[in-house]
Amino acid sequence: MPVLVLSSSLGTTLELWDANVAALSESHRVLRYDHRGHGGSPVPPGPYSLEELGRDVLELLDELELGRVSFCGISLGGAVGLWLAVTAPDRLDRLVVACSSARFGPSESWLERAATVRAEGVTAISEAVVGRWLTPALASADPGLVDRFRRMLEATPAEGYAACCEAIAGWGFEDRLGEVSVPTLVVSAAQDPATPPEHGRVIADGVPGARLAIVEGAAHLVNVELPDEFSTLVLSHIGAGSRVGEPA
């Protein structure tokens, strides 16, 4: 069975994908993991870099003796996917980059957020961050979901969150998008205030042959807000994929 790796956003754990796993598992073996500094992963002192986050994935694939896989990442996870597509294209069959960016805004703002979290904890920024994750309509209709994701964010170790902010601050990939040779689907959410569709268009325009899908009625965590639509998009792109253990 082909393998699909799911890579999460900043401040979330592999539980981000709970609503997608059933559909994706019908045709793929799904591999979820936590970024360093998040969830069940170790929390080495920062700062981190996108290269380190990407090499963590390669080490995981090697440990599990997986050759080629498809990769789907949201936000920070999408940036990891772009790095992998340029650095280790022989390991990726297909790539989905969702609600992500080739540059997540000014570096200074991310460094300021890292400093705030180290000084005051993740709770200092949690309300503002979660407010960008889901549309107001969904937040009003399902406050329990909002509370679950806020608790997930606030459980993230401060050092892990801050160090990944520093990785984002150092991320600028516009000049390397043309090096991506892996078939790529870019997914943007129409109501995403964190990485608006313009960010997705930059990636889709820069990656040769990439396709852009804009999902209406969703904010940053598009896979949570519209899980069925998102899973259908992913499956239509990754198809049958490569088989487990297929040589890279």
Instruction: Give me 143's structure tokens.
Output: 């406050």
Tell me the backbone φ, ψ of residue 70, rounded to 5 degrees: -90, 155
Closest CA to 3 of 248, 230, 242: 242
pTM of the full structure? 0.95
Enclosing domain of residue 41: 3-238
Residues 108, 229: Cα–Cα separation, whole Å? 35
Residue 171 is assigned to a structural domain of this protein? yes
Is 243 inside any structural domain? Answer: no
How far is the C-alpha of 97 from the C-alpha of 33, rounded, in Å? 16
Preceding amide of 47 cis, omega within 30: yes
Domain assignment present for residue 80? The answer is yes
Tell me whether residue 172 is in a domain. yes
Decide if 245 is inside a domain. no
User: Does residue 186 sit within a domain?
Assistant: yes
| Calpha distance 140→244 (Å, rounded) | 42
Question: 246 in a domain, yes or no?
Answer: no
Structure tokens, 214: 């804009």
Percent of the chain with pLDDT over 90: 96
Q: What is the CATH number of the domain that holds 48?
A: 3.40.50.1820
Bridge-based pairing of strands 211-215 and 69-74 is unpaired
pLDDT of residue 247: 36
Ramachandran sector of residue 241 (left: φ over 0; alpha: ψ -120 to 50; beta: rest): left
- Buried residues in 177-203 as b, exposed as e (16+ CB within 10 A): beebebbbbbbbbebbebbbbebbebb
Q: What does DSSP assign to residue 36?
A: T
- pLDDT digits (tens), the chain, 248 positions: 999 999 999 999 999 999 999 999 999 999 999 999 999 999 999 999 999 999 999 999 999 999 999 999 999 999 999 999 999 999 999 999 999 999 999 999 999 999 999 999 999 999 999 999 999 999 999 999 999 999 999 999 999 999 999 999 999 999 999 999 999 999 999 999 999 999 999 999 999 999 999 999 999 999 999 999 999 999 999 985 544 444 33
- Domain for residue 247, yes or no? no
Q: Are 157 and 36 in contact (CB under 8 A)?
A: no
**How many domains does the chain fold into?**
1
Which helix (H) or strand (E) segment holds residue 7: the answer is strand 3-7
In the chain, % helix, strand, coil (3-state, to 5) comes to 50, 15, 35
A 10 A CB-CB count for 120 gives 11
Per-position DSSP letters for 183-229, written without gaps between them: -EEEEEETT-SSS-HHHHHHHHHHSTT-EEEEETT--S-HHHHSHHH
At 48-73, the pLDDT tens digits run 999 999 999 999 999 999 999 999 99
